[in-house]
Amino acid sequence: MQHHIKFTAMAMGCALLLAGCGGSDDDDAPKPPVVVQPPPVQTSLEIFTSTARGMESVVYQGGHAYLSLSNSKTEPTAVLKAPLPITRASTWTPVGLGACAVGTQGNFIVRAPKLKVVGDDLWLMQHWADLPESKDEHSTCTLGSNGTFAARDQDLRVCTGNFCETLSIQDIKRHGSRLYSNPGAGLNLFTSNNGGNTWTVIRGQKASMVCTPTKFHVTGNRVLVGGECPLDFAFVEAYQLNADGSALASDTKLPLTLPALENRNVQFIESVPDTKRVFIGVEGGLLRSEDDGASFKFVIQQPLSGSKTYPYITAFLPVKGKPDTMVIGGFDKATQMAYLAWSKDGGATWTDISNLTPNHGKAPPKDATVMIKAIAEDPQGRILVTMNETGEGQGKLMLLTLGSN
């Protein structure tokens, strides 16, 4: 009996020793999972489709992508569509433009329609030309339920004496139940409470102005406006709207903390949804506000002369669900090449990825500029970019993939 007790105690001691040392004869014992880190995603730009004509916009509505093309010496303006998701193998088919098409280039400037989805409507905006052959053209249209664009600029047709013109809109935005737009360029800012059937002047006049179009953005009960009027005098201003947003509450400017703009025309004013960040693109720079547009500081600023780069930032995309991630694009006036950059820290710093654009570093043809025209995010969360290699020709539609580091 005594020997049995000693043997048991010894066996228990060995078992504890083995357990403490991690030894085991059980091959089926659970093993810690092996964690495999995915390779980092590299930032890249892939060409989906190219055209001889210039590309302007790419937008998405009703399960389709819509792409607008400029006119040429032999072809009028066009809008194409393809089912989502877009790939290199996508088939693009023409959308009926009817009276909204702009004729062939002829001896006049190249023109391209700008597309934008505002609320439930897909809008088409284009420059109206004061030429005999252009008198019946339309500057503003919407896509109808029949799949064809129809004119929506009846209230933008204005006459002074014997001269009549159709005011051109460069942008339309929705705030609450109201639309806001900038017909006729210059200081002009209009609003509509009936979906754009009629417009009321908030600022400026119901006629064309010589200056560049006002860039505008409504935030809360304030409207920010910016541009260059008179020419070579850049400005950004803020005004209080009245209770229903139908007019300015006062012509008095609201306080606005802003660095000196010098001669830097405003290219866009946009905010990041669900944040208090507002960005203003200007010639040679980018301004950011962290207080809903009350004060701004430069986050990109190049000197007016002597710089190796001088970007005109005209396109801005905040990535959905990622308020700190955004993409900007335009062109570099110093080199006449495309400009493309992105930020992952809320716009405090920017990574220049212009070198990813096709033929970057190759001098464009004489008097031509390579430029990013539009940046848009599709319903699948992919970023598509349009670029023209010769100003208003040689368009490319590309997929931008942002890197993971």
How confident is the prediction along the chain (405 residues), in pLDDT tens digits per residue? 444 433 344 444 434 333 444 444 556 667 777 777 667 779 999 999 999 999 999 999 999 999 999 999 999 999 999 999 999 999 999 999 999 999 888 767 889 999 999 999 999 999 998 777 777 889 999 999 999 999 999 999 999 888 889 999 999 999 999 999 999 999 999 999 999 999 999 999 999 998 999 999 999 999 999 999 888 889 999 999 999 999 999 999 999 999 999 989 999 999 999 999 999 999 999 999 999 999 999 999 999 888 899 999 999 999 999 999 999 999 999 999 999 999 999 999 999 999 999 999 888 888 899 999 999 999 999 999 999 999 889 999 999 999 976
Task: Supply the pLDDT for residue 107.
Answer: 65
Q: Kindly state whether residue 291 falls inside one of the protein's structural domains.
A: yes
Which CATH number goes with the domain that contains 291? 2.130.10.10
pLDDT value at residue 40: 77
Burial of 124 per CB tally in 10 Å (0-12, 13-18, 19+): buried
Please say whether the dihedral angle defined by the alpha carbons of residues 314, 213, 228 and 174, taken in this order, is positive or negative.
negative
Task: Look at residue 352 in the predicted model and tell me its pLDDT.
Answer: 96
CB burial class (10 A; 0-12, 13-18, 19+) of residue 257?
exposed
Task: Determine the residue type at 21.
Answer: C
**CB neighbours of 330 closer than 8 A, spacing ≥ 6?**
267, 281, 311, 312, 313, 314, 315, 338, 339, 371, 372
Expressed as residue numbers, the domain containing 372 is: 257-405
- Assigned token pair, 38: 């995915």
Q: CA-CA distances (angstroms) from residue 373 to 50, 282, 306, 402?
A: 14, 16, 26, 19
* Spatial contact of 211 and 231, defined as CB atoms under 8 Å apart: yes
Q: What are phi and psi of 231, to 5 degrees?
A: -60, 140
Q: What's the pLDDT score for residue 37?
A: 66
- pLDDT at position 21, please? 43
Residue 203 lies in a domain: no
Gap between the Cα atoms of 186 and 390, Å rounded: 27
Does any domain span residue 358?
A: yes
Domain tally, the chain: 1
Residue 279 belongs to a domain = yes
Predicted model pTM: 0.88
For the record, the structure tokens of 221 come out as 């009960």
351 within a domain of the structure (yes/no):
yes
CA distance readout (Å), 117 to 59, 122, 224:
7, 4, 21
Give CA–CA dist 325/402, Å, rounded.
10
Residue 48 placed within a domain = no
pLDDT for 230 equals 84
In a domain, 148, yes or no: no
Asked whether residue 35 is domain-assigned, the answer is: no
371-377 sheet: strands from edge to edge: 44-53, 393-401, 383-388, 371-377
